[in-house]
Structure 1
Amino acid sequence: MERTRWIDIRGNHDAFNIMSLDSVNNYYRKYSANQKVGSFHYVHATPFGNYSFVCADATLTPGPKRPYNFFGILNQTQMDMLDTFRAESLKSNQSIWFGHYTTSTIVSPSPGVRELMRSAVAYLCGHLHTLGGLMPVLHSRHPHGTLELELGDWMDNRRYRVLAFDHDLLSFSDLRFEKWPAVVITNPKDAQYMHPDLEPLDRIRRSTHIRVLAFSEATITVVRVIVDGEALGECHPAGGPLYVLPWDPLRYLTGLHTIRVEVEDSLGRSSAREQHFSLARDGVTPSFGFAQSFILLTDHYVVGRAIFAITMLLNVGLLLSFRFMRHFPLGRAGWSSQACMSLRLVSKVDHFFYSLLLFNLCTALGPWFIGELIDGHSGACFAFGVFVNGHFLEGSLTYVVGVIQLLFFNMPLTLYLCWSLHLRCRGNTFRSLLLRPGCRWRCLAVHLLMLLLLAWQAHSCYFLLETYGLLAFLLSPVRTWALGLGLVLVYRAWTCPMPSWSSVAGGGNGKSVSPSS
Structure 2
Amino acid sequence: MTASWWKMLRLAAGLLAAALAAVLVGWHSPSGPEQLRRQPRSFSSQPAPGAEANNLFWIIQVSDLHISKFQSPERASDFEKFCAETVPVIQPVLTLATGDLTDAKTEDKLGSDQFEVEWQTYQTILKRSKVMEKTKWIDIKGNHDTFNIPGLENVRNYYRKYSAWKKDGSFHYIHSTPFGKYSFICVDATLNPGPKRPYNFFGILKANKMQELSSLAAESSGSNHSIWFGHYPTSAIVSTSPGIRTAMRSATAYLCGHFHTLGGLMPALHTRHRHGTLELELGDWKDSRKYRILAFDHDLFSFADLKFEEWPVVLITNPKSFLYSSAAHEPLQRILHSTHIRILAFSPSPIKFVKVSIDGIHLGNAVHVSGPLYVLKWAPQNYSEGFHQIEVTVQDASNRNATRLHTFAMEENLSLTFNLLASWVLLTDLYVLVRVVFVLMVVVQIALLVIFRYRGNPTLKRPLGRAMRASFSLHILSKINFFYHSFLLLSFYTLLGPWFIGDIIDGHLGVCFSFGVIVDGHFFEGSTTYLVGIMQVAFFNLPLMAYTCWCLLLRCQGYGFGYYLRHAKQWPIHLSMALLFLWQVYSCFFLLKTYGTVAFFLSPLRLWTVGLTLFLVYRTWTLQSSMLRSFIVEMKNAQSS
Common fold: TM-score over 0.5? yes
More deviation, 462-471/220-229: 220-229
Residue 328 (structure 2) pairs with residue 201 (structure 1): no
Residue 239 (structure 2) pairs with residue 112 (structure 1): no
1:60 is displaced (CA, Å) by 0.9
Cα displacement string for residues 287-324 of structure 1 (whole angstroms, at most 9, x for unaligned residues): 11111111111111111000001100011111122222
3-state SS, counterpart of residue 210 of structure 1: strand
1:327 is displaced (CA, Å) by 4.2
- Which residue matches 2:491? 360
> Which of 274, 289, 292 pairs up with 2:419?
289
1:188 is displaced (CA, Å) by 0.2
1:504 is displaced (CA, Å) by 6.2
> Which of 129, 136, 139 pairs up with 2:260?
129
Which amino acid in the other structure matches residue 435 of structure 2? Answer: R
1:434 is displaced (CA, Å) by 3.5
Residue 538 (structure 2) pairs with residue 407 (structure 1): yes
Residue 570 (structure 2) pairs with residue 447 (structure 1): no
Cα displacement string for residues 52-77 of structure 1 (whole angstroms, at most 9, x for unaligned residues): 11111111111111111111111011
> Which of 512, 531, 548 pairs up with 1:417?
548
More deviation, 150-159/182-191: 150-159
- Which residue matches 2:444? 314
> Which of 264, 267, 272 pairs up with 1:141?
272
Point out which structure has higher relative CO (alpha carbons under 8 A, 6+ apart).
Answer: 2
The whole-number CA distance in structure 1 between the counterparts of 2:394 and 2:610 is 62
Residue 312 (structure 2) pairs with residue 181 (structure 1): yes
- Which residue matches 1:232? 363
The answer to whether the 8 Å contact 1:327/1:505 transfers is no
1:35 is displaced (CA, Å) by 1.7
3-state SS, counterpart of residue 309 of structure 2: coil
1:335 is displaced (CA, Å) by 2.5
The whole-number CA distance in structure 2 between the counterparts of 1:362 and 1:75 is 28
The whole-number CA distance in structure 2 between the counterparts of 1:138 and 1:343 is 44
1:241 is displaced (CA, Å) by 1.2
The whole-number CA distance in structure 2 between the counterparts of 1:76 and 1:475 is 33
More deviation, 310-319/329-338: 329-338
- Which residue matches 1:492? 619
> Which of 594, 598, 602 pairs up with 1:467?
594
Which amino acid in the other structure matches residue 253 of structure 1? Answer: S
The answer to whether the 8 Å contact 1:94/1:121 transfers is yes
The answer to whether the 8 Å contact 2:299/2:330 transfers is yes
The change in CA–CA distance for 1:498 and 1:92 in structure 2 (over 3 A counts) is: farther
- Which residue matches 2:35? none
More deviation, 167-176/22-31: 22-31
> Which of 32, 43, 54 pairs up with 2:163?
32
> Which of 270, 286, 290 pairs up with 1:159?
290
Matched-pair identity in %: 56
- Which residue matches 1:298? 428
The answer to whether the 8 Å contact 2:457/2:475 transfers is no
The answer to whether the 8 Å contact 1:368/1:380 transfers is yes
- Which residue matches 2:583? 456
> Which of 304, 321, 324 pairs up with 2:454?
324
Which amino acid in the other structure matches residue 469 of structure 1? Answer: G
The whole-number CA distance in structure 1 between the counterparts of 2:531 and 2:138 is 33
The change in CA–CA distance for 1:488 and 1:500 in structure 2 (over 3 A counts) is: closer
Question: What is the alpha-carbon root mean square deviation over aligned residues?
Answer: 1.7
3-state SS, counterpart of residue 242 of structure 2: coil
1:328 is displaced (CA, Å) by 3.8
Which amino acid in the other structure matches residue 465 of structure 1? Answer: L
- Which residue matches 2:385? 254
The answer to whether the 8 Å contact 2:174/2:181 transfers is yes
The answer to whether the 8 Å contact 2:460/2:468 transfers is no
The whole-number CA distance in structure 1 between the counterparts of 2:412 and 2:551 is 69
Which amino acid in the other structure matches residue 577 of structure 2? Answer: M
The whole-number CA distance in structure 1 between the counterparts of 2:395 and 2:626 is 83
- Which residue matches 1:168? 299
3-state SS, counterpart of residue 378 of structure 1: strand
1:425 is displaced (CA, Å) by 1.8
Which amino acid in the other structure matches residue 414 of structure 1? Answer: M
Cα displacement string for residues 121-152 of structure 1 (whole angstroms, at most 9, x for unaligned residues): 11100001122221121111112221110101
> Which of 557, 560, 571 pairs up with 1:426?
557
The whole-number CA distance in structure 2 between the counterparts of 1:171 and 1:293 is 19
Q: Normalised by the size of structure 1, how large is the TM-score?
A: 0.94
More deviation, 415-424/22-31: 22-31
Which amino acid in the other structure matches residue 242 of structure 2? Answer: P
The answer to whether the 8 Å contact 1:344/1:505 transfers is no
Q: How many residues align?
A: 502
> Which of 205, 210, 223 pairs up with 1:79?
210
Task: Give 5+ residue unaligned stretches, structure 1.
Answer: 511-517
1:331 is displaced (CA, Å) by 4.2
The answer to whether the 8 Å contact 2:449/2:478 transfers is yes
More deviation, 77-86/203-212: 77-86
The answer to whether the 8 Å contact 1:105/1:300 transfers is yes
The answer to whether the 8 Å contact 1:193/1:285 transfers is no
The change in CA–CA distance for 1:342 and 1:248 in structure 2 (over 3 A counts) is: same
- Which residue matches 1:21? 152
Residue 461 (structure 2) pairs with residue 334 (structure 1): no
1:91 is displaced (CA, Å) by 1.2
1:158 is displaced (CA, Å) by 1.4
The whole-number CA distance in structure 2 between the counterparts of 1:434 and 1:498 is 21
3-state SS, counterpart of residue 107 of structure 1: strand
3-state SS, counterpart of residue 151 of structure 2: coil
- Which residue matches 1:54? 185
The answer to whether the 8 Å contact 1:425/1:500 transfers is no
The change in CA–CA distance for 1:478 and 1:500 in structure 2 (over 3 A counts) is: closer
Cα displacement string for residues 144-179 of structure 1 (whole angstroms, at most 9, x for unaligned residues): 221110101123221111111111110011111111
Cα displacement string for residues 423-465 of structure 1 (whole angstroms, at most 9, x for unaligned residues): 1122221224543xxxx23321111111111111111111111
3-state SS, counterpart of residue 455 of structure 1: helix
The answer to whether the 8 Å contact 1:329/1:505 transfers is no
Task: Give 5+ residue unaligned stretches, structure 2.
Answer: 1-131, 635-641
The change in CA–CA distance for 1:500 and 1:463 in structure 2 (over 3 A counts) is: closer
The answer to whether the 8 Å contact 1:227/1:258 transfers is yes
Which amino acid in the other structure matches residue 422 of structure 1? Answer: L
Which amino acid in the other structure matches residue 91 of structure 1? Answer: G
The answer to whether the 8 Å contact 2:556/2:632 transfers is no
Which amino acid in the other structure matches residue 495 of structure 1? Answer: T
Which amino acid in the other structure matches residue 575 of structure 2? Answer: L
Cα displacement string for residues 83-142 of structure 1 (whole angstroms, at most 9, x for unaligned residues): 111122221111111110011111112221111111111110000112222112111111
> Which of 373, 388, 403 pairs up with 1:242?
373
Residue 198 (structure 2) pairs with residue 44 (structure 1): no
3-state SS, counterpart of residue 77 of structure 1: helix
Q: Normalised by the size of structure 2, how large is the TM-score?
A: 0.76
- Which residue matches 1:514? none
The whole-number CA distance in structure 2 between the counterparts of 1:342 and 1:465 is 36
The answer to whether the 8 Å contact 2:557/2:632 transfers is no
The whole-number CA distance in structure 2 between the counterparts of 1:432 and 1:121 is 67
